[in-house]
Amino acid sequence: MSGERRRLGAGELSGVVRQVYGGARAVRSVARLTGGTKKGVYRLTLDDGASCVVHVWNDDENYWPAQDEDADGQLAAASGLDLFAAAHAELTAAGVRVPQLLLLDRSHTLIPGDVAVVEDVRGGTLEARHARNPRRAEPVLARLGGQVRALHARRSDRYGRPLTLSPADAPPPHTVVRDRALRHLDASARRVPRIAAVRDRIAALIDAAYAAVAPRTGYALIHGELGPDHVLIDDRDQPVLIDIEGVMFFDLEWEHVFLELRFGDTYHHLAVNGLDEARLRLYRLALDLSLVEGPLRLLEADFPDRDFMRSIADYATARILARLSRR
């Protein structure tokens, strides 16, 4: 599997530029940005030096193999223009900085696929800033903490994506997470002998963690996959959230297990009091199982950065097995 796919060029994207800017500007160069697995992300530099970012959703840009994800319900993989637009609206309403929206197009006449055009935030990612100069990243992290708390202050009495909130009689989020974790365990056991050898012990860990969770009503708006690579920095050193299709109302603990994993030593900028320890235990284990199942399933397709995906699965496998050694 080569991972080589057809990429859109300047000629194909010229219609998008005309739709956004009129006929006064032309595309000088196109760069496909890395990181997307379900959509294509392209930076367009124009002949006057301006730039924008184009998101494209179509089958050519989706590396994931076909799978029936209905069982995952509101936790099914998030992709598509409608989810992007709804998430953008929710984040904007919460006062969270996201790239300015320049165009939404569902016509498939500009290029094959749904299209969103947004401002090009050129300060790089928070991840890159921190790697180069941790001290310069500190004020951005502090501002990000305020943005995340503003995001989480937006509430709903039902959970789910903004466009498809779950009905009142839906199973609670921790049940959805438990059931998904068990499916991921079975899928991981088929692919990883070390997990297969202790599959029943891991299932018992899931069941014990689930049994300790008490019922809850009321859910926070969360990003769903917020790492320092999904935070850009604008020209005023403000954090800008991207990859937003997974935005949803859900248990706050689901967000924080991801934040603590991805932000590591800088997580204290985002930490809050009052999280439910029982939910955290269940959700940490469920997250690790998803980080085994997802990357290994992606490797069954033609995703190009194979070593990176394998490293994620290996790291998550080690975390799961470490839990068993502590019992």
Check if the beta carbon of residue 293 is closer than 8 Å to that of residue 188: yes
Residues 106 and 206 in one domain: no
String of DSSP letters for 170-197? SPPHHHHHHHHHHHHHHHHHHH-HHHHT
Residues 138 and 85 in one domain: no
pLDDT tens across the length of the chain (327 residues): 344 556 888 889 999 999 999 887 899 999 998 766 778 899 999 999 999 999 999 877 776 666 545 556 778 777 889 999 999 999 999 999 999 999 999 999 999 899 999 999 999 999 999 999 999 999 999 999 999 999 999 999 999 999 889 998 999 999 999 999 999 999 999 999 999 999 999 999 999 999 999 999 899 999 999 999 999 999 999 999 999 999 999 999 999 999 999 999 999 999 999 999 999 999 999 999 999 998 898 888 767 778 888 999 999 999 999 998 876
Distance CA 143, CA 71 (A): 37
Residues 190 and 110 in one domain: no
Residue 175: phi and psi, rounded to 5, are -75, -40
Give residue 17's domain range.
10-119
Q: What is the rounded CA–CA span in Å between residue 219 and residue 261?
A: 21
* pTM given for the model: 0.92
Of 35, 60, 68, 30, which Cα lies nearest the Cα of 46? 30
Give the amino acid at 129.
R
Is 277 within 8 Å of 256 (Cβ atoms)? no
The CATH code of the domain that includes 86 is: 3.30.200.20
Same domain, 139 and 265: yes
* Number of structural domains found in the chain: 2
Residue 258's closest CA among 219, 296, 229, 293? 229
Asked whether 272 and 164 are in contact (CB, 8 A), the reply is no
151: left (phi over 0), alpha (psi -120 to 50) or beta: alpha
List, in sequence order, every residue forming a beta bridge with 250; answer none if it has no partner: 220
Residues 207 and 302 placed together within one structural domain of the fold? yes
Q: At what angle do helices 199-211 and 173-191 cross, to 10 degrees?
A: 170
Same domain, 108 and 134: no
Signed CA dihedral, 275, 277, 280, 282: sign only: negative
